[in-house]
Chains A and B, each alone.
Chain A
Amino acid sequence: MKVSQHVFMLILFMLSGYSIAAEEFIFDVSSYQKKNYRLGGYLEYSLNHQILNQSAAANSLLFINKTLPDSITQHIGIIELNGDYKQDKWQARFNFHAEAYDNELVSDQQGIFYEAVATYQPTTGITLEAGKKAIKWGKGYAWNPVGFVERPKDPNDPDLSREGYVVAAADIIKSFSDDIKTLAFTAAYLPVTEHINEDFGQQEHNNIAAKLYLLYNDTDIDIVFLNQGSRSWRYGFDFSKNINTNFEVHGEWAYLSNVTKQLVDNTGVISTEQDSAQQWLLGVRYLTENDTTIIAEYYRNEAGYNEQQMDDFFSAVDVAYATLNTNLLNSLSKISQQTYLKRNPGKNYLYLRASNKEPFDWLYVTTAVTLITNIDDNSYSITPEISYTGIKDLELRFKAAWLNGDDHSEFGEKRNDRKVEFRLRYYF
């Protein structure tokens, strides 16, 4: 074969190779045509192992007259299904959440509609909704002081979907070409009766919540309000702004009138006090040059418990547990989940999260570490995690949690000392 023929064959080969490479990338848009309905969601299995804190108040109140095991291994299965159906200006959508769990002590299962709402949109700028809907307000990542009509989020997993309330809501949007580019008003009516939204607050009340949103000089601003009803009246605002291409700053402030707070002294006497309180949060999100996203937030809750109040409660539990005072343990247990043992019951917190996509060139891997600390008692939790998304429609996550603190500190009295969790999620 002559040199020219070799060259010709080489060129032909290269051209054919190029052609294959070019043809590799095909986009058939017909399979993405709009349908009237949509259905999706995920299936999840998770396995967690918890090393129990043998001296924790949380366990003293949970295992009254029972033997406390060293550890618990738990299996959890979850299905979350969401869908919608659209017809002209009407739309119906739902989000159904079912989960079953099993450990050495208990097994249970439940299914619940997180959302089921009908929407009517007469024009682009107006939307009317009725049904069960999760309204989420605020700019904070871990906490939302202005989230007046929502269930609290878990700062350890703030992206999880949450159950909504039954509401009737209206949303009006107007755009401008001035300093104020967008003005949007949202109002929600939330009734509370014996059978509707009964866990929102006092029953037989009509609650009105409202939010005015402005995009003013490239800053998001929300002004929010909740009337006196099932909860005390409250108002506040939030903001968020990009300072530059990799730096964002946000904050929230809320004023809550007549917040009722249950107190326990160190002998176990329960009392109630009422006072107004401010809650606020300041946070930043920063993207470093090596693609690490850092979120930092400071949270101040005047309605929270100070270090002495926490110490009194834990002392009361210790005394009741040591003297086998079952009646007192039961009464403390009854109020604890909504007070001293709820998520982050203290006054001052710092949240730090650093996450990095594909560190060390590990494909499809994201690593993150989260620190939540109670600044008053210096107790904290550290949660490193690693997730992998290299298999189509699958997400694997491994997470560990290490809780640390002195006796009578928030994280020193939590149920677990350590926790490891493996989660497998399949999206469809």
Chain B
Amino acid sequence: MRIKIHLSIFYIIAVLLTSTAFADDGTTILKKVDRNLQPESYEMYRKLINVEPDGDRKEFVLYSIKKGRDKMVALFLDPPSEKGRSSLRDGDNMWLYIPNVGKPLRITSLQSVVGGVFNNSDILRLDYHQEYNVTGVTNEKDKYILELKAKTNSVAYDRLKMWVDKKNLVPTKIEAYAASGLLIKTLHYSKITDFGNGIIRPAMLQTDSPLYKDYQSIMLFSNIKKRSFADEVFTLNYMSRIESLR
């Protein structure tokens, strides 16, 4: 009887240690993935393309900057109807500035300022490890599969399943799930490109969603560069002046 109890305790400890070790490994992998996808502070240009079911497209061009763990801004450069708009994210807070309106308005992460499959949290995405804990890792021949769980309920997706290319340590595919278990969207990273200064990462992100049947949204990345910014740039009062940083 005593031996059985000892064995049970040993088993529980072993399971706990193993799962913690997986999570640690997973967290390390996820942090590397984050750093490979984007430097901690950077600027970049993006084109967003919404492909409608009839094949028509709507395109947006954004200039984006990010600093540290949780500050990001995106400025619309095109089309003319959106020019001058900017979106700011500071942690869980998001705002939209429209020149005509003349003052920033709070927006929520599940809204979409561009329509299509990308929502605001996709456009103003922070590092994955800032928003998610790793709950499981599967080690396969040429890839890791990470199971991620949102740290708080203010994160747009409750769970992510991420396929990570072992060679480049960048994601190739991510499935995003709601708390109910519903698959919200799938992201496909492709076209691994050398952006210079050691930044080697996918230059294209395609996404589709069972909630937006026959729609597709594409994000193309360009001119990703490390750059430092003052904290004051990531504030409401600065949103109308982001253009001056280019």
For the complex, give the distance between the alpha carbons of A159 and B106 in Å. 15
Inter-chain contact A124/B232, CB cutoff 8 Å: yes
Inter-chain contact B223/A242, CB cutoff 8 Å: no
A residues near B154, Cβ cutoff 8 Å: 242, 244-245
B31 within 8 A of A: no
Picked from B52, B91, B110, the residue with its CB within 8 Å of the CB of A287 is B110
Count of A-B contacts with CB under 8 A?
Answer: 149
Task: State the 10 A-B residue pairs at the shortest beta-carbon distance, nearest first.
Answer: A175-B231, A427-B80, A27-B220, A427-B81, A124-B230, A34-B246, A136-B102, A125-B232, A27-B47, A29-B222
Question: Which chain A residues in 18-34 approach chain B with CB under 8 Å?
Answer: 22, 25-27, 29, 32, 34
Shortest A353–chain B CB gap in Å is 13
Inter-chain contact B90/A186, CB cutoff 8 Å: no
B interface residues with partner A (beta carbon < 8 Å): 45-47, 49, 52-54, 56, 58, 61, 63, 77-81, 83-84, 90-94, 98-103, 105-112, 115, 121, 153-156, 190-191, 204, 218, 220-223, 230-238, 241, 243-244, 246
B residues near A220, Cβ cutoff 8 Å: 93, 106, 236
Picked from B77, B91, B110, the residue with its CB within 8 Å of the CB of A246 is B110
* Stretch in A66-74, A223-231, A387-395 touching the partner: A387-395
A213 within 8 A of B: yes
B residues near A246, Cβ cutoff 8 Å: 108, 110-111
Shortest A376–chain B CB gap in Å is 29
Picked from A91, A141, A161, A218, the residue with its CB within 8 Å of the CB of B100 is A161
Shortest A293–chain B CB gap in Å is 7
Shortest B10–chain A CB gap in Å is 43
Given contact pairs A32-B61, A124-B233, A245-B121, a sample of 5 additional A-B residue pairs in the complex whose CB atoms are under 8 Å apart? A40-B83, A86-B244, A240-B106, A244-B153, A427-B80
For the complex, give the distance between the alpha carbons of A357 and B211 in Å. 14
Picked from A32, A40, A186, A240, the residue with its CB within 8 Å of the CB of B237 is A186
Shortest A184–chain B CB gap in Å is 5
**28 examples of A-B residue contacts, CB within 8 angstroms:** A25-B204, A27-B47, A27-B220, A27-B221, A84-B243, A121-B241, A124-B230, A127-B237, A134-B102, A139-B105, A158-B101, A171-B237, A173-B232, A173-B235, A173-B237, A174-B232, A175-B230, A186-B237, A242-B106, A245-B108, A246-B108, A246-B111, A285-B108, A293-B111, A357-B115, A363-B52, A363-B54, A364-B58
Inter-chain contact B236/A184, CB cutoff 8 Å: yes
A residues near B63, Cβ cutoff 8 Å: 32
A residues near B108, Cβ cutoff 8 Å: 242, 244-248, 285, 287
A residues near B81, Cβ cutoff 8 Å: 42, 389, 393, 395, 427
Chain A contact residues (Cβ within 8 angstroms of B): what range? 35 or more
Picked from A127, A159, A363, the residue with its CB within 8 Å of the CB of B241 is A127
Question: Which chain A residues in 378-412 approach chain B with CB under 8 Å?
Answer: 389-390, 392-393, 395
Interface centre among A141, A245, A389 (most CB of B within 10 A): A245
1/0 per position for A112-140, CB-CB distance to B under 8 A? 00000000010011010000001011110
Inter-chain contact A213/B236, CB cutoff 8 Å: yes
Q: A25-B49, A29-B45, A127-B241 are in contact. Are A215 and B90 (CB under 8 A)?
A: yes
Shortest B51–chain A CB gap in Å is 9
Picked from A27, A174, A242, A247, the residue with its CB within 8 Å of the CB of B94 is A242
Picked from A86, A139, A175, A389, the residue with its CB within 8 Å of the CB of B234 is A175
For the complex, give the distance between the alpha carbons of A175 and B237 in Å. 11
A261 within 8 A of B: no
For the complex, give the distance between the alpha carbons of A181 and B102 in Å. 22
B residues near A137, Cβ cutoff 8 Å: 103
Picked from B61, B106, B218, the residue with its CB within 8 Å of the CB of A248 is B106
1/0 per position for A143-181, CB-CB distance to B under 8 A? 000000000000000111110000000010111000001
A residues near B231, Cβ cutoff 8 Å: 175
Inter-chain contact B101/A159, CB cutoff 8 Å: yes
Shortest B76–chain A CB gap in Å is 11
User: Which chain B residue shows the least CB distance to A391?
Assistant: B56
B residues near A182, Cβ cutoff 8 Å: 90, 235-236
For the complex, give the distance between the alpha carbons of A99 and B232 in Å. 38
For the complex, give the distance between the alpha carbons of A358 and B214 in Å. 14
For the complex, give the distance between the alpha carbons of A39 and B77 in Å. 12
1/0 per position for A333-367, CB-CB distance to B under 8 A? 00000000000000000000000011001011000
User: Which chain A residue shows the least CB distance to B78?
Assistant: A32
A234 within 8 A of B: no
B residues near A287, Cβ cutoff 8 Å: 108, 110-111
Inter-chain contact A242/B93, CB cutoff 8 Å: yes
Shortest B47–chain A CB gap in Å is 4
User: Which chain B residue shows the least CB distance to A32?
Assistant: B77
Shortest A180–chain B CB gap in Å is 12
User: Which chain A residue shows the least CB distance to B109?
Assistant: A245
Inter-chain contact B92/A25, CB cutoff 8 Å: no
Shortest A1–chain B CB gap in Å is 32
Q: A363-B52, A393-B80 are in contact. Are A175 and B232 (CB under 8 A)?
A: yes
Inter-chain contact B233/A390, CB cutoff 8 Å: no
Shortest B81–chain A CB gap in Å is 4
For the complex, give the distance between the alpha carbons of A428 and B233 in Å. 28
User: Which chain A residue shows the least CB distance to B238?
Assistant: A173
Inter-chain contact B223/A29, CB cutoff 8 Å: yes
Q: A86-B244, A175-B231, A363-B56 are in contact. Are A136 and B101 (CB under 8 A)?
A: yes
B residues near A250, Cβ cutoff 8 Å: 106
Inter-chain contact A121/B220, CB cutoff 8 Å: no
Interface centre among B103, B191, B246 (most CB of A within 10 A): B103
For the complex, give the distance between the alpha carbons of A390 and B53 in Å. 13
Shortest B74–chain A CB gap in Å is 13
Shortest B22–chain A CB gap in Å is 29
Inter-chain contact B80/A121, CB cutoff 8 Å: no
Interface centre among B190, B220, B237 (most CB of A within 10 A): B237
User: Which chain B residue shows the least CB distance to A425?
Assistant: B81
Shortest B227–chain A CB gap in Å is 13
Inter-chain contact B47/A363, CB cutoff 8 Å: no
